Structure 1
């Protein structure tokens, strides 16, 4: 199963780029990629974000720019899949091609910083800090704007993004985009399997069989495609869900460990510290009043 390739189906004679506001039960939960840049603003949505080989939690206000042909998806938390009409994922999505303003527009001196931003977007650029709030307010105006006014606002947003002092580059420098584009990849199926079973014990034999591969072949394939071992990916996803529980639930650390698939609390604490660079208790204390960068 390949990550889905989306062709540019949205182009029309009235606009050279896409601006879309959506209220949906949950965001698209499968890896996909396309030729356009994508700016994703999650107004109301939280879950696990996948960009290249990056696996991280996201929350309301998450703002990320993804480059062309970089596989990505935002997997909403389970609560968004329960059919509650009062709880909807609210997002603003912008897509634009490299040359939507002309072949050399970003080569002019005034646009040098934006050109650098677009280059970094191959890895995914997450915007944090006060700039995220400022840009978020501008993005909320964009769907209601039209014509040249909308275009100028988008250029303004790109310029603000390019000068944001607090950003995270998501995918690693070792991420191999070509593997996703050329290989008949089963990795999307693997990640979906993890997302639906992370609370249970998952063995290598089990997931290899689910991928119609033997264990040795699966391990080689997964390491090459995901740029990490299966165990590392599973731990990153489980710890991401543990972070959510620490902020949004009253469960104690042991209960959270068991709820996220860890039978041994000592091992959970060790893995958590390796990934988050702090203990679970320290993380909970730091983020109770500040949810940025989850």
Structure 2
């Protein structure tokens, strides 16, 4: 069915938006979209984040604002599916409609940075981790408030994020290209299949068969939905998973490349640099040095 539309109910007689501190076995793992904005802070979880046509690893302190109708999901690593009672995904989830504070509220001059932020969220906004840590306690605290205190806290969060350093995730034309497609194939099922089998030598014929399509029809559909070819998306998935292994493990570059589906370390290095503009060794050194340099925010 393409990305699944979820009909949310964020408003009630008691509140204007939805807010929850959640602990679940793993994040919701289907490519989906909804008409509400979604602000999600990952407290404990890691895996791969799909945001439109952006495929990147995520871990603790990942803070993202998703705009209306932008297909997305966070896929937890396989260990979260092993029914380990000591392992769970913990997050703060806030969902709100465009007019939750009033029809023209964000047109006020004082709200110009928030209005800009909400517009940017149509491509998915990733808040830089250093700033995310600074507002972590505010994100947790909002779930403990009620009434006008909770409303003011959300506006405070949006104002703070609007003035922060953030980056856009999905490409500019992704949403438009998706809604031009009349196909009803299960893109989430395709992505899950690619993630689960990224280490193998996947062929176009195999993936097309999994999607119950012939190869040429699948190519046209997949490109219209994602703005990328199957090989480009598979490469993005492999590189995203490789990034996580470079940071979280001490495996060699060659071992990581092999585990991510690259039989040749030189080819892995070339593909990694195409996607990340840096080679795997430099990427590992850069991110590890950031982890050791960056002070903890209390």
Give the structure 2 partner of residue 170 of structure 1.
169
Give distance in 2, aligned partners of 1:168 and 1:62. Answer: 12
1:70 to partner: Cα distance: 0.7
Structure 2 residue 95 is the aligned partner of structure 1 residue 100: no
Give the secondary structure class of the aligned counterpart of 1:155: helix
Give the structure 2 partner of residue 280 of structure 1.
280
**Pairwise mapping of residues 89-168 of structure 1 onto structure 2 (< 5 A)?**
89-164=89-164, 166-168=165-167
Instruction: Provide structure 1 residue ranges, at least 5 long, that are not aligned to the other structure.
Output: none
Distance 1:239 1:291, change over 3 A: farther
1:246 to partner: Cα distance: 1.2
Verify the 8 A CA contact 1:131 1:160 in the aligned structure 2.
Answer: no
Give the structure 2 partner of residue 195 of structure 1.
195
Deviation larger for 183-192 or 42-51: 183-192
Give distance in 2, aligned partners of 1:124 and 1:141. Answer: 24
Give the secondary structure class of the aligned counterpart of 1:144: coil
Verify the 8 A CA contact 1:69 1:177 in the aligned structure 2.
Answer: no
Structure 2 residue 38 is the aligned partner of structure 1 residue 38: yes
Give the structure 1 partner of residue 72 of structure 2.
72
Give distance in 1, aligned partners of 2:255 and 2:230. Answer: 24
Give the structure 1 partner of residue 52 of structure 2.
52
Give the secondary structure class of the aligned counterpart of 1:145: coil
Give the secondary structure class of the aligned counterpart of 1:173: coil
Structure 2 residue 246 is the aligned partner of structure 1 residue 246: yes
Give distance in 2, aligned partners of 1:213 and 1:259. Answer: 28
Deviations 1:108-130 (A, max 9, x none): 11111111111111000000053
Give the paired residue count: 291
Give distance in 2, aligned partners of 1:93 and 1:133. Answer: 16
**Pairwise mapping of residues 191-270 of structure 1 onto structure 2 (< 5 A)?**
191-270=191-270
Deviations 1:85-130 (A, max 9, x none): 1111101000000111111111111111111111111000000053
1:245 to partner: Cα distance: 1.1
1:136 to partner: Cα distance: 1.8
Give distance in 2, aligned partners of 1:263 and 1:269. Answer: 11
Verify the 8 A CA contact 2:33 2:69 in the aligned structure 1.
Answer: yes
4+ residue runs over 6 A deviation:
none
Give the structure 1 partner of residue 296 of structure 2.
none
Give the secondary structure class of the aligned counterpart of 1:86: coil
1:6 to partner: Cα distance: 1.2
Q: TM-score, normalised by structure 1?
A: 0.95
Task: Compute the RMSD of aligned alpha carbons.
Answer: 1.5
Instruction: Provide structure 2 residue ranges, at least 5 long, that are not aligned to the other structure.
Output: 293-298
